[in-house]
Structure 1
Amino acid sequence: MTNRLIKEKSPYLLQHAHNPVDWYPWGEEAFEKARAEGRPIFLSIGYATCHWCHVMSRESFDDPEIAAEMNALFANIKVDREELPEIDSLYMEFAQALMASGTGWPLNLILTPELKPFYAAAYLPPEERQGMMGMKQLVRHIRELWASEEKELLFDQANKLVDLFEKSVMTRGEEVPTEGTLDEALESLFETADPIYGGMQGAPKFPVGYQCQFFLNYAKTYNDPRPLFFAEKTLERMHLGGIYDHVGGGFSRYSVDEKWVVPHFEKMLYDNAILAGAYLDAWRYTQKEKYRKVTEEILDYILRDMRHPDGGFFSAEDAETEGVEGAFYVWTKEEVMEALPPDDGALFCEYFDVTDVGNFHGKNILHRTLPLAEFADYRGLDEAQVNASLEHSLKTLYEAREKRTRPFKDDKVLVSWNALMIDTLVKAGVALENKSYLEAGVKGATFIRQHLWKEGKLLRRFREGEAGYEGSLNDYAALIRALITLYEAGQGESYLEWALEMTAHLEQGYKADEGAFYLTGPDHSILMRRCELYDSAEPSGNALHAENLIRLYQITHNREYWIQAEDILKVAKNFIEAYPQGASYHLLSLLRYLDGELPTLVIALDEKKSGQKEVLQEVFGRLLPHLALSWDSKEYPCKEGKTTFYLWKQGKCQPSITKWKEVESLLRRI
């Protein structure tokens, strides 16, 4: 049995292609069926590595009785939230207005034929359970309403909800946020931060990589130890916990508890890109080796397990293996002791809290109760010997784990997620002097250019030779950011030219008049265009692009970029003030905007490119939050045939320098 989803490329849609539900992909064919036959639409949104999406599919969408009732009543539409994030984002906001309880995925809504919602729910069991409506009851309830006089009330409710949202779309602001806004936001972040386990207070706990980056950048800019404490606390506790894959590297999506011990085991590309960047920044700031090590382990995992043969990066790995959540990652004590020599096994079990009882359905999620140095001191052991034993044990367990059935891998390539990873790889490649990271970043950008850049426009998704879906602001903004980094890393002016071309495209098709940028382009088929300002699991596209525009202003001195960045920050002001926890990347952009010096180092290389390696190592190897690099030998000539450096500060160019020691001293003062 197959349905229309069998022709799609999305792994998520293909997972539902054999449901007896008559699924349609999002598009005009489904809309026309609903309009022509006067049917409500059942819209179900999820993604390929979503545990509860799998559960609901097995329980309800594979049930012939439930499917038959859905087919008789609805036009049924399946959406991969990662292919159509603008659809997911819009209907998630509708769902939050309609639901009393928390939202999540799978996200299920019932719409009028005009795509306006009047009911929303997350996971639903097949039958009523613990006060939760079941799918069978829901379908029958909607069928009764649709056939009654109350149908008009449903339409009225849906129309009012959409009208309310349309009136609330904010595209313009009046004032740029001030240092006062920044400081109040910081204090608010401190109030909700967990001083014991890091992250935000409570559970579940999500990695907050760009919040850590804001803390680090603020601490560096203002020499304030408080945000540095919270950033380090979060990064250290996350790495101790089970949310980190100690055997294979990389972070899971989130932890169900406040101590980061029990993860939801799916691994997402964007999380690991952002977190690797945060650990890299922590190393650049503190030079502590432990942060460098985590950065390398995350990136090594990505290059080993998540890389397309042609250079792009896959999206995610599932939480489940053969229907069992976490099966690939957890261990019994017996399994560990069988794999390791007795003494090493005993030490390993003590360090990673492996017990006979376990901490997850009778098995063990590996986590550390103490940092290595504290553990060795507590046991009275030599730290180097303990580390050597544990490293050897982890390698042995990795080899044993590789014999297990791996979780499903979502192998689609998404531009915005790839761009986040490219940016981190390039920075790490230069900072850590690791050519493989830098080359992987360059190859990732080449992959996007070859497969997803078509006729001056960006497409979003590539899989099995096919590119599709119009790029959103998030795709453009994340890629522009990565391209500026490639240019600053000395990889060539072509990256800057491409970034400028896409920036012009956004200005022409995505920008509201004197305002922020719409998530979607002018031709996108959606109920309404909106300017999204809050971060989700990824940074807000507007926040990323505000940073891009300021960086481009630093490099080109084109005042128009500065004005466009101000337009975004004006709109973001109310959002920052209302909920700074959801606007961490705007705070990063605002921090750069408020830097009175806003330094740019212009390098005019001589024929031998003397000094290029040294300046890259100095700039990328340290956390210099707001310094921009420009490689310009046309406007800025070499003096006496030597590589010459020009420093811009406060909008003015300082006297040129040709002696590296003077430049090095200057950078360290910055």
Structure 2
Amino acid sequence: MANTRLDTSAYIARLRALDKGALPPDGGQDFNRLIFARSPYLLQHAENPVAWYEWGDAAFEKARGENRPILLSIGYATCHWCHVMAHESFEDEQVAALLNSHFVCIKVDREERPDIDDFYMAVSQVLTGSGGWPLNIFMTPDKRPFMAVTYLPRQGRGGQNGLMELLPNIAALWRQRPDLIEKNCRSIMDAMGNLSSKIDHTVSVDLQQLVDTSFNQLRNIYDPQYGGFGTAPKFPMPMNLSWLTGQGATGNHDALGMALHTLERMRRGGIWDQIGGGLHRYAVDREWLVPHFEKMLYDQAMVGLAALEANQATGGGFYLHLAEDIFGFVARELTSPEGGFYAALDADSEGVEGKCYVWGKGEIEECLGDEAPLFCRFYDVTAEGNFEGHTILNMPLGLDEFCTVEELDSTETGLRLERCRLLLLEKRKRRISPFRDEKVITAWNGLMIAALARGGAVAGDPAFLDAASRAASFLLEKLRRRDGRILRSFLGEAADVPGFLEDYAFLAFGLLELFEATLDTVWLEWAVKLADQMLEIFLDPASGRFLKTGRDAEPMPLAASLEHDGVVPSAFSLTAQVFIRLARAAARPDLLDHARRLLESYAADVQRQPTIHLGSLHAMALLEGEPFEARFSGHRDHPAIQGLLHALKARYCPNLALTFEASDDSPALAICTQGTCYPAVHKVSELEPILERVAPRLTDQK
């Protein structure tokens, strides 16, 4: 039986199961106040000697009453460097003594409270030019920051102070020079105020110029050998890949090639879990070999969508299989019994990063017997290993190229390797698994619903559609208050934190994709309801701006943030896209006006840095471009309708505006695009020639 400290899942389960009714409010001798938290991340710190508080009135009242500065530490349950700092410092009695004597300490799970994380991450960016987790903010009792740092070691090294040096200095500064603290606070708040400047309606956007600039900037940092962007660390950046695929549809073959090559190299690299499917968060090297091993739900959704778009554009089965590999992993390891999707898997198990995922050659030989030599050659397994004496599985060559070199039949070899993979997967299941954060986060679930719905439509696989529908039903039932307000997360029960703009936008996106995949207008109606709530809750009538946090929620010191696309779309860009698509699908032209005003509200930011606003460029293209109208009529479950829908969704159709009218007439699909309205078709054989003309395959690769 593993030590529960090393088996994090068992450890958290034990803490959650404790009878806490007899514990005092401060947690007593064995715990701090975080023992009462629901968040797995906060529970991971419940036995720290640090007297942690959750974010709330009690912490701020104590800081005000005792005139103490606050240490706000923000992270998440599957964050490797959060674990490192916790083990080095927050579990240390000497560090805890300094913190407890001079500070009020608050822990926040960034996934539960993205509003807090977003504001103070913007502070870190303003102060240091960078950010990350753990994010540690020193601030006043009125929540104004005066210093930001990320990971710090316990003791200084390499000319950098550690916590043991930094904490006494800050405590002394707080007591002796409050004027300097106040000066720093004012300077930071002034800088933050500049992030929320008034809307400049005079900004004129030349969309084609921004598209050209963005492509040239991406091409300049593109790695032509290994794919991806930059050198190391290297993130998947699915927003880049989706946008480049879209540019391929306009005739930019170089853009499409960059997206396809990156997907291929990621699939072959160690960033991909070659045994269990899905991908890790990023690679620490240029070659995609050594990953940071945590696995996030949003990465699976976004890369899955990028792969499906590549398949729609090219017809290449490789990209569809890539998405299916992701969906298989999500179904097996990130799906709750109720149908919601869990947030993440940790990088660490038994206190070691990546231990669950790496292999020794001997254990592979013992498991696979006579098939081991083939497996080891294909997956680059050696006795020396490629990572701390072990091997991270990767594919130096694709299957066809490998079989050509080895003079093997590719079909038979693929089947042999698949049998080996399944044997090793069973063996791996007997290891202690990384901790799974079982929070169901509304926004990330919305992305996964969208990916599965698109996958079901493209592949014609009802299992993907069933998974998307179950998750959507779960969210709409369990993550809505009685007044209809969407909530942020669920873990055993819904949290009382109201949903943020990203929760509404990402969920509406998922429901819209589900409508387009099924023609079930129930999903469209729900998406419209969410859009109306977004206008009610997040549109500030005084400024005309959309807010990322609802007007009914706790405000931050300033309504300021750095809003742009990252590994997921920005809440603003996806809101605009959803409004545009709903305007056409649900006959709501008012939503086009809201989308236009939303994009105008930060057009100056897009103009300055278009490459980090690709989602907004896509929204602008939707707004300016001619819709690809596809009008279905008939019974949605009729085989002919389903066949037409599958044929349409298997193609890359930019600016698709899909509508459905239930009727007793014979099943039909009418398409209007590129200045032409085509006669209604009733069979796939009648539709295909039209699609060849208006949505041709871009390449026959893979």
TM-score tier, shorter chain, comes to over 0.9
Which letter maps to 1:183? D
Aligned residue for 2:666? Answer: 642
CA drift of 1:632 comes to 2.3
For 1:245, the equivalent position in structure 2 comes to 273
1:457 corresponding residue in structure 2: 485
1:586 match? 616
The match for 1:184 among 200, 213, 227 is 213
Q: Does 1:97 align with 2:129?
A: no
> What pairs with 1:491-510 in structure 2 (closer than 5 Å)?
491-510=519-538
Residue in structure 2 matching 1:416, options 439, 443, 464: 443
Deviation at 1:528, TM superposition (A): 1.8
Is 1:47 the counterpart of 2:76? The answer is yes
Cα 1:491/1:604, change in 2 over 3 Å? closer
**Cα distance, 1:436 vs structure 2:** 1.1
Range moving further from structure 2, 568-577 or 363-372: 568-577
Which SS does the other structure have where 2:496 is aligned? strand
Kindly report which structure 2 residues correspond to 1:88-237, keeping only aligned pairs within 5 A, or say none. 88-99=117-128, 102-148=130-176, 150-170=177-197, 172-174=199-201, 175-220=204-249, 222-237=250-265
**Percent of pairs with identical residues:** 37
Following superposition, the deviation at residue 460 of structure 1 comes to 0.5
Asked if 2 retains the 8 angstrom alpha-carbon contact of 1:480 and 1:499, the reply is: yes
2:175 alignment partner AA: A
Matched residue, 1:428: 455
* Residues in 1 aligned to 2:261 and 2:109: alpha-carbon distance in whole angstroms: 35
Work out the CA distance in 2 between the residues paired with 1:388 and 1:308.
Answer: 30
Name the CA shift for 1:198/1:17 in 2 (closer, same or farther; >3 Å): same
Paired position in structure 2 for 1:657: 680
In the alignment, which residue of structure 1 is the partner of 2:353? 325
Shift of 1:668: 3.7
Q: 2:104 aligns with which of 70, 75, 80?
A: 75
Q: CA deviation at 1:411?
A: 0.4
Please report how far the alpha carbon of residue 536 of structure 1 lies from its aligned counterpart in structure 2 after TM superposition.
Answer: 2.5
State how many pairs are aligned: 659
Aligned to 1:346: 373
Equivalent residue number for residue 295 of structure 1: 323
CA-CA distance at 1:663 after TM superposition: 4.4
Q: Distance in 2 between matches of 1:631 and 1:355?
A: 56
Aligned to 1:374: 401
Tell me if 1:386 matches 2:413: yes
What is the aligned partner in structure 2 of residue 544 from structure 1? 574
Q: CA–CA distance in 2 between the matches of 1:457 and 1:466?
A: 12
Distance change (3 Å), C-alpha of 1:46 and 1:356: same
Counterpart residue identity of residue 458, structure 2: A
Whether the 8 Å contact between 1:5 and 1:25 is mirrored in structure 2 is yes
TM-score, normalization: structure 2?
0.90
Counterpart of 1:630 in structure 2 is 659
- Cα distance in structure 2, aligned partners of 1:423 and 1:51: 28
Per-residue displacement from partner, 1:439-492 (whole Å, max 9, x unpaired)? Answer: 000000001011111112110010012333111111000011111112222352
Determine if contact 1:460/1:475 at 8 Å carries over to the other structure.
yes
* Structure 1 length-normalised TM: 0.95
Q: Would you say 1:33 and 2:62 are equivalent positions?
A: yes
Deviation at 1:662, TM superposition (A): 4.5
* Cα distance, 1:608–1:242 mapped onto 2, change above 3 Å: closer
Instruction: Give the whole-Å Cα distance in 2 for the aligned partners of 1:478 and 1:289.
Output: 27
- SS of the residue corresponding to residue 132 of structure 1 reads coil
Give 2:467's aligned residue. 440
SS at match of 2:631: strand
Shift of 1:198: 1.2
8 Å contact kept, 1:219–1:226: yes
**Partners of 2:455 and 2:461 within 8 A in 1:** yes
Q: Go from structure 1 to structure 2 and tell me whether the alpha carbon gap of 1:170 and 1:617 turns closer, same or farther (over 3 Å shift).
A: farther
User: CA separation in 2, counterparts of 1:451 and 1:491?
Assistant: 24
CA-to-partner distance for each residue in 1:316-347, whole Å, 9 max, x for gaps?
000000100000000111111111123x2112
Aligned residues: CA RMSD: 2.0
CA contact 1:373–1:383 (8 Å) conserved in 2: yes
> Which stretch of structure 1 is more off in the superposition, 568-577 or 368-377?
568-577
Task: Give the distance between the partners of 2:642 and 2:153, measured in 1 at CA.
Answer: 59
**What is the alpha-carbon distance in structure 2 between the residues aligned to residue 359 and residue 250 of structure 1?**
21
Deviation digits for residues 163-218 of structure 1 (CA, Å, limit 9, x no counterpart): 22123314634334522222222222212221111111211000111211111112
Which one of 82, 86, 95 corresponds to residue 115 of structure 2? 86
Matches within 5 A, 1:232-311: 232-311=260-339
Distance change in 2, residues 1:204/1:381 (3 Å): same
Q: What is the alpha-carbon distance in structure 2 between the residues aligned to residue 162 and residue 606 of structure 1?
A: 58
Cα offsets for 1:277-303 (capped at 9, x unmatched): 111111222222221211111101100
Query: Does the CA contact (< 8 Å) of 1:312 and 1:444 recur in 2?
Result: yes
TM-aligned CA distance change 1:229 to 1:507, over 3 Å: same
Does the 8 A contact of 1:532 with 1:540 survive in 2? no
- Asked if 2 retains the 8 angstrom alpha-carbon contact of 1:328 and 1:404, the reply is yes
Partners of 2:411 and 2:517 lie apart in 1 by 35
Contact 1:413 1:462 in 2 (8 A): yes
Amino acid at match of 2:589: R
